[in-house]
Structure 1
Amino acid sequence: MFRAHWKNKPPRAVRMKHHRSLLPLLLWGSLLLSALPALAAEDTKDLFAFDDFPLEEPLSHPDWFKHSFLDLQEDLADVQQSGKQGLILYFGQQRCAYCKMLLQVNFGLSDITAYTRRHFEVVAINIWGIDEVTDLAGELLTERELAQRENTTFTPSLIFYDEEGHEALRLRGYYPPYQFRAALEYVADRHYQRESFPDYLARADEATHFEPGELNEESFFLPPPHNLDRSRFPGERPLAVFFEQGECHACDVLHGQPLREPAINRLFQRFDNVQLDINADTPIVIPDGRRSTAKQWAKELGLFYTPSLLFFDEQGNEIIRVDSVVRFYRLRNVANYINSRGYLSEPDYQRWRVSNAP
């Protein structure tokens, strides 16, 4: 069983405030302390520093992925017969750099591969594919149609189903191994029956005390207080909301690399940009006019990863969100998609990207 260090930062960046905080961790399993050295041994530097431009060579799936005829009802029956805990649909693209990270980095770790194979069957879906799929309800459609229906905006996207065929969790985009482990265990141990994935992660966070840290600053961030209400009067520009936290390595990389690229920085200068601490009780008025706090709004949105970037139009409607690892190519394309109003003529981001991205 995995005992993940679930805060969204590399394990070695953690600093305990009180030794007594180890006691509540027993709730999560006595294996935590023995797992920490292995987690710390993972080289996290490259997890947020890879080139996300489309790959030159197409990817191949691990040979242990299920050799499916894309009849998901049959695949689920195999899950039940084998005594496994669920079925994972992997939505990917052959030249997706983020998919490569999942397949070669996460699944390159023997413990993750062994745990996944023990508890799940994994079926690969090509988001551009034309092969026919029979979904769990018996509907016949193409891989591409299924990907569109399931709103797999970013790849890799994974949908976890339990052995009864009920959806248990969705992951959209690439997540580092220490969070991916938590997702696997969340489904395999049936925590989804009692709590949401963000709450599951938050319970682990509450068992540890982290030193507070300052958020990264940008010249284009609007100062508080934040009234984001666009329900009565539209905004003049699109809105970008950055959910972050202190002591967040992925946040540091976002600000120190992609947002430093002049072209990307200029694109964000055309937004109304707001930065919120995902764990703070900072009062805000959200785009639909309701009063809330940063923490409450993040929970309502189902966010658990930092940094998460949410984009809204002038009327306060959410257009798209980036709530997983993001690098130069993806962030630049998403910002262009918003700035060019591409979503008005093409609501499918991936279709727009293929037609418009360099």
Structure 2
Amino acid sequence: MRLRFPPYFLHFVVVFLLTIISTNSSAQVDKLGQITGGAAYEIPSWFTDSFLDIAEDVEDAMDENKSVLLYFHLDNCPYCSSMLDQNFKSGDNLAFIQKHFSVIAVNLKGDREITLNENEALLEKELSKILKVQYTPTIIFIGEDGKQAFRTNGYRTPKAFRLVLEYVASQSYKNTTLSDYVESNQKSSKGYTFIDYSGLEKASYLQDYKQPVAILFEDKDCIDCKNFHEKLINRDDVKAELKQYLFIRFDAYSDQKIINFDGKVTSPRKMVKDFDLNYRPGVLLFNEGKNITKIDGQLYSFHFNTVLRYVSGKHYEDFPRFGDYLKVRQQEMLEQGIDINIVD
């Protein structure tokens, strides 16, 4: 016996199914994660109003007994906002910066043309890519010859940044590393005491080690190490990412013998020099015996975790620039309904 349904019943079924589909689609949209923590900011009015001709800017700065400081920034970057507020708009470093430096802002994704010399001109975003600017703010100090004299990658607290400013203003970069400069100039007997961390292992023989390795460098003069332990690597989400690594720590001032990944003898002091790791706590990240990147400034958990994942997951094979992977990872999390607080 064949069942027969009135036309209005079929209409009801169609409407019902469309309602379910529509409801599910709405639910999918509602589940998208949200990004919070971005910070709008303005570049200080006292920054040099430059035509972005670096050679001319260097000459003008020298006439005032100053050096050129290029401030690479990104719109809505909370690290950039904090560093501007704490150093370039107010704070103990403001007067020192204004006395010794001619500061020029460069937008990481900007389209203004920068003249490097009479034969070469690039857009801001092109120069940022060539200089491999991955973290903002990146600060590049230009020497008298118009070339990079020193560089910092990422946010630094005012006290840590002051050491950099004094190092560059005194032109100590010409004959010593920042690490050696700080070690010889910090006279306080009360320094940082290394903090125990359960996830740290001991290893000094790394030859032929192919798994992900994170090497943490601290020293007795470290200003930001306590915060690194208490507010970052003791988080459960960070611990989960670090479990993918052989996580070891060295004293950056130590001459301890280390056999590196290619079997050569080195030391912590030599490693921080060879890899130009000028921030404490600094982290070198390796996979398959190769240095993939470094963490040379203060990061919040989202960016820190993403760098760790970038290396341990070998995402650098598909994304040579970390910034490109960061965008993909961010979108992946949002589509999974995960909220991202970039200053958490």
TM-score, normalized by the shorter chain, greater than 0.5:
yes
Runs of 4 or more above 4 Å deviation: 246-249
Q: 2:193 aligns with which of 200, 213, 217?
A: 213
**What corresponds to 1:240 in structure 2?**
214
Equivalent pairs counted in the alignment come to 297
CA RMSD of aligned residues (A): 2.3
Question: Secondary structure of 2:226's partner?
Answer: helix
Deviation, 1:89, is 0.8
| Match status 1:192 vs 2:173 | yes
- Separation in structure 2 between the aligned mates of residue 187 and residue 69 of structure 1, nearest angstrom: 24
**Gaps spanning 5+ residues in structure 1: where?**
1-52
- Which amino acid is the alignment partner of residue 241 of structure 1? I
Question: Secondary structure of 2:106's partner?
Answer: strand
- Which amino acid is the alignment partner of residue 77 of structure 2? C
The 3 A distance-change label for structure 1 pair 228 and 114 is same
Q: 1:327 aligns with which of 290, 300, 324?
A: 300
- Separation in structure 1 between the aligned mates of residue 161 and residue 173 of structure 2, nearest angstrom: 15
| Match status 1:152 vs 2:101 | no
Q: How does 1:50-89 map to 2 (within 5 A)?
A: 55-80=37-62, 82-89=63-70
Structure label with greater radius of gyration = 2
- Separation in structure 2 between the aligned mates of residue 185 and residue 152 of structure 1, nearest angstrom: 23
Question: Secondary structure of 2:86's partner?
Answer: helix
- Which amino acid is the alignment partner of residue 197 of structure 2? E
Deviation, 1:269, is 0.7
**What corresponds to 1:275 in structure 2?**
249
**What corresponds to 2:240 in structure 1?**
266
**Gaps spanning 5+ residues in structure 2: where?**
1-34, 334-344
- Which amino acid is the alignment partner of residue 193 of structure 2? G
| Match status 1:109 vs 2:90 | yes
- Which amino acid is the alignment partner of residue 71 of structure 1? D
Deviation, 1:134, is 1.4
- Separation in structure 2 between the aligned mates of residue 242 and residue 196 of structure 1, nearest angstrom: 18
Contact 1:60–1:94 at 8 Å: present in 2 too?
Answer: no
Q: 1:294 aligns with which of 268, 271, 276?
A: 268
The 3 A distance-change label for structure 1 pair 116 and 212 is closer
- Which amino acid is the alignment partner of residue 218 of structure 2? E
- Which amino acid is the alignment partner of residue 275 of structure 2? L
Deviation, 1:63, is 0.9
- Separation in structure 1 between the aligned mates of residue 214 and residue 242 of structure 2, nearest angstrom: 8
- Which amino acid is the alignment partner of residue 246 of structure 2? D
- Which amino acid is the alignment partner of residue 219 of structure 2? Q
The farther-off stretch of 167-176 and 191-200 is 191-200
The farther-off stretch of 302-311 and 88-97 is 302-311
Q: Percent of aligned pairs with the same residue?
A: 28
What whole-Å deviation, never above 9, does each CA across 1:55-90 have from its counterpart, x for those lacking one?
44422111111122322233223223x423211111
- Which amino acid is the alignment partner of residue 188 of structure 1? A
Deviation, 1:130, is 2.4
- Separation in structure 1 between the aligned mates of residue 36 and residue 141 of structure 2, nearest angstrom: 26
- Separation in structure 1 between the aligned mates of residue 319 and residue 142 of structure 2, nearest angstrom: 30
TM-score (norm 1): 0.75
- Separation in structure 1 between the aligned mates of residue 104 and residue 221 of structure 2, nearest angstrom: 36
| Match status 1:222 vs 2:196 | no
Q: How does 1:25-44 map to 2 (within 5 A)?
A: none
Contact 1:214–1:247 at 8 Å: present in 2 too?
Answer: no
Deviation, 1:120, is 1.6
- Separation in structure 2 between the aligned mates of residue 211 and residue 340 of structure 1, nearest angstrom: 36
- Which amino acid is the alignment partner of residue 305 of structure 2? R
